Amino acid sequence: MAATRSRWQVFSRICASTLGSYAFCWGFVALGGASLIAAGLEFHEASSLVSMLAFLLYLTTFCWAFIASSLALVWGVLAWGGALMALAAWWIARLMA
Amino acid sequence: MFANFRLSLTWLHTWFGLTLGFVLMVAFFFGSLSVFDREIDRWSLPDTRIEPQPMPSFDSILASRFAMITEPDTDQRDEAAKRVTAPLPGKLTARSWNAYTTHRDPVLLMYVGFEVPNSPLPEDTVYGDITIDPRDGRVLPEDRLALGSGFFYPMHYSLHITWHDLGYWIVGFAAMMMLVALVSGVVMHRKFFREFFTFRPGKRLLRSTLDLHNLTGVVALPFHFLWALSGLIIFAAIYFPVFETSLQPLVDQHEHEEAMHTGLDAKPSGVPGRLASVDAMMKVAKDHWASRGVPGEVGFLSVTHVGNSNAYVSIYRDSTDRVATAEGLHFEGSTGRVIFEDPPAGPIETVNAFLTGMHLQQFKHWTLRWLIFAGGLLSCACIATGFIFFVEKRKHVHAKQGRVGATCVDALAVTTVTGIVVATMFMLVMNRVLPEELARRGVWEKGAFWVAWLATLLHAAWRAPAVLQGRLSKAWAEQCRVIVLLGVAAVALNALTTGDHLGRTLGAGYWPVAGVDLLLLAAAGTAAIAARRLRQRAGDPRTELASIEEAERA
């Protein structure tokens, strides 16, 4: 176990779990909030819901980033997922305004 | 990265729990003290040892006092000056007047929000505040520090690091890691329910420490989880400022719709206007609550767009009888007509308000208040035993290998477990010792706290080499003895300088001061027992030998 664990890998895991999860959750709040508002949910209800869930989501992705076997998959899902969701949210907000 | 799921989570639990544990100790210790922040305020400001007062008259007292707040706090102004794109004008425009009180407040906090022009942040506001005696409107001296609500309370969520909200982020990340430690802790231990009932104090230190760590973790698991989570939710707008930054069109649209719907303008009109009698509005609000079957006092009062023709007054019932904070009544400032009543919150906002209200506990329920205090102390115990387990498990191996890991952790653990209590009690002692007339007295008190805390760190570091030899650091016992001295001294000094000794406060049933005194004595007593136990352990060579054997097995 120790042999397969280089310093770099640990560092990359920690970055993925802390920063990658943050990016992913940011995307979730943006896309979740924008879609719920677009679907007709009241603004405060929508923003409350997604920001409360964001912390539980962060908890989940943070742990997952350590459990998952493939570090590439972790980075792919968290960073790309976060970016795509944020982009989609921006697009929805533009359509609605 | 690891052989299996459980090993990954164990690694997370150990390393993130350890590094953020020091921050969590601060958050939970000062959070626990914040449960009694108003009571600590009374202890530290003897002039304010009076019964709680309702919101005073606006027309005869508050209006003139608000007008006295002409500028924001210097710190806030200086921070704002750094973020604006053009230099701040000498005089900022007041935008809102606010006054807040609870069933535990004999004094009234009044604060004015000032607009920050040319700021990159939307609705950027800085605040200036005063505290008054609501009975006669006397303004309390500004340089007196309310130790509970003015120092311990902000410490628990911001560490007093204001630069770019860094303190909030550190505490927020620590709270996230508390959640991670709880989840990973539960997964690591397969005998979850047995741990509910397992504590073997007679066993060797390593085993008893782990038992206590598991017991305190499991018994108060819902508390640990919900308080860390609700703390994060309270500051969600800081941690995820998503809407204000990347979804601004939605925010603008919502503000516009809300203003149309409620009749409360989002922006000041720019045309000067006068306020009608706010006392009359408070009377209308109280009659309205009484007619709804929920009579109560005004808890929060705010005037928005001060001095403008479209100013409005919002009045909220105090939170004495419920967890979630209240819906408000909004009045047109110029006429006193009710413009809008907040509708009952939607289901999600209700959950949010409940979690927030539970964490902030402005309700009147002393049993719950004590239970929440006990929950906070259990969190502290859980974190502290985590440190001790970390050190005990490794110190003999590290001693053999000449590694300093366990030694450093032990010194930091001493600083955040006993050191934090020493620094807090030293601050209380200095609060009673410093001359009453001393200028900037609060700054001296804060200085005393930080110096004392630093001293406990240096002391712990000086004693730490014992751990390097696989022995117990004497700093633990020595700081416990300092706690005994300081705790007793604080109670004695309070009696000497104010005359409010326990005989008098208990006799009169004045619990804010009696309670703080009793807690100080309880802490001193606990520290005395701990110091004696530590000395017995240090004097018994078998414990050291046995713990070496045990650590080798573990």
ipTM for this prediction: 0.94
Give the whole-number percent of chain B exceeding pLDDT 70.
95
Closest residue of B to A61, CA-based?
B180
Q: Is B89's Cβ below 8 Å from some Cβ in A?
A: no
DSSP class per residue in A8-45: HHHHHHHHIIIIIHHHHHHHHHHHHHHHHHHTT--HHH
Whether B529 shows a pLDDT value over 90: the answer reads yes
Contact A66 B1 (CB under 8 A): yes
State whether the Cα torsion B82-B88-B92-B96 is positive or negative.
negative
Residue B31 · residue B156 · CB < 8 Å = yes
Mean pLDDT of B181-197: 79
SS3 A88: helix
Q: Which residues of A touch B19 (CB under 8 A)?
A: none
Mean pLDDT of B495-503: 96
Q: Is B260's Cβ below 8 Å from some Cβ in A?
A: no
Its pTM surpasses 0.90: yes
CB proximity list for B335: less than 8 A, separation 6 or greater: B276
Q: Which residue, among B107, B125, B108, B105, has the nearest Cα to B116 in the 3D structure?
A: B125
Contact A48 B247 (CB under 8 A): no
Provide the residue type at B545 as one letter: L
Q: Is B15's Cβ below 8 Å from some Cβ in A?
A: no
DSSP class per residue in B118-130: T-SSTT-EEEEEE
Per residue in B122-140, pLDDT tens?
788 999 999 999 999 999 9
- Number of neighbours of residue B134 by Cβ within 10 angstroms: 24
Residue ranges covered by each domain of chain B: 5-45+164-219+362-553, 51-146+256-360
Going by the DSSP 8-state scheme, the letter that residue B272 receives in this structure is B
Per residue in A19-71, pLDDT tens?
999 999 999 999 999 999 999 999 999 999 999 999 999 999 999 999 998 99
User: Per-residue confidence at B539, pLDDT binned at 50, 70, 90?
Assistant: low
Q: Give the closest of A47, A48, A58 to B176, CB-based.
A: A58
